[in-house]
A = this chain, B = another copy of it.
Amino acid sequence: MDTHITQLVFPPGFIDLGAGIPSLELLPIDRLEQAAEEYFAACDRRTLQYGAEQGSGPFREGLAQWLTEISDYQVDPGCLMTTAGASSALDLLCTLDTEPGDVVFVEEPTYFLALRIFADHGLQIESIPLDQAGIDLDQLEKKLARAKPRFVYTIPTYHNPASLTLSPGRRERLAGLAQEMDFLILADEVYRFLGYEQDPPRPMADFSAAVEQVISINSFSKIFAPGLRLGWIQAHPRVIERLTRCGMLDSGGGFNPFTSAVVDQLIRSGDLAANITEVKKIFHQRLQVMEQALIQHLPQAVYQRPQGGYYFWVQLPGLDTGRLREQAKEAGIDFRPGSLFSNRKGLRDYLRLSFSCCDESEITRGISELGKLIRE
């Protein structure tokens, strides 16, 4: 029945080394069941009513407390707004803050499905290159001298697909530029909780308390389960106020009151934190397995070892990864070619490999097959 499923393409035996999703066995249905039991025991019918546009107070309080505990700065529940996931947040921000024809800047490479959302809203997309410390701010400044974008969309931590992390200095400079020139920063921070070897720099979310232009987008998809369709925006209270006064939320109430009430239990019980610890351990092992496999089977691959997140961003100098993908698929292997992540069909000798959705043996087998294909 599932006719068209972009995110789920798994014929049996097929190894998809490209999908940016957690593997099925990592989806913590038992923890969710426990949280649901606690939710139903509390029997609060208000959670089944139309909810507050900003999201329920108790949920945002619990979330703020957890974010405060794991950061070294205070998060206020008034700075948080419940969403139906990062994609819904981007869509909402496009509806409310842009008009067709507006120019927006993205990184090159960037998350390809965000490009689709921006295109649906008729936005004109321009690219800013990345270097090893994240988005190239000199290039950004040059572009800003010619045109002011409505927003800059950035993935500052454990970038998708480039696995880079924006340096602390550049974070400050970027927030400063946004404030000075008055353009929005939509910071997609969904990978920030998945650091495997050291803590990432302070999130862009942290700047939003002082800089109204900074809007941080986050989600439970990468730290718990995508199927919940639950996330949050962290921004200045004046920004939150503006976003919650839209027609869709006035009419339908806030996003997902029932689901957020269940996740509220999950946060308060400590089970969300426990889940993150668990998946981080597994992803870290998979990362190491993938690195070993790359060293062994793809010695020509150029990449920077990821410090967190889901991805290896691999350059195979001189090779057309779009064509390689066709051959790989026939051999039962998939990845995502670099051109997908380019707004100008560039990056043709790059590919994105994900260690989130395959187990260790599949990773080894998949990369070994890929190596064979390339040698042939």
Contact = CB atoms under 8 A, between A and B. Distances in A.
Interface stretch (A4-12, A194-202, A205-213, A309-317): A4-12
Chain A, interface SS category: helix
A178 interface: no
A57 interface: yes
Interface in A204-236: 221, 225-229
A43 interface: yes
Interface stretch (A67-75, A79-87, A151-159): A79-87
B54 A3 contact: yes
Interface in A232-253: 241, 244-253
Nearest to A7: B50
Copies in the complex: 2
A325 interface: no
Report the contact-size class of chain A (Cβ under 8 Å from the partner): 35 or more
Contacts of A58: 1
Interface of A: 1-8, 21-22, 24-25, 27-29, 32-33, 36, 40, 43, 45-54, 56-58, 60-61, 77-78, 84-88, 90-91, 95-96, 99-100, 111, 113-122, 221, 225-229, 241, 244-253, 255-259, 261
Given A116-B247, A247-B115, A251-B87, A227 B47 contact: yes
Contacts of A246: 116-117, 120
Given A22-B49, A116-B247, 6 more contacts: A24-B46, A32-B40, A87-B251, A91-B95, A120-B247, A258-B259
7 tightest A-B contacts by CB? A1-B57, A116-B247, A87-B252, A113-B251, A7-B50, A117-B247, A48-B225
B1 A248 contact: no
Contact of A48 (B7, B32, B47, B54): B32
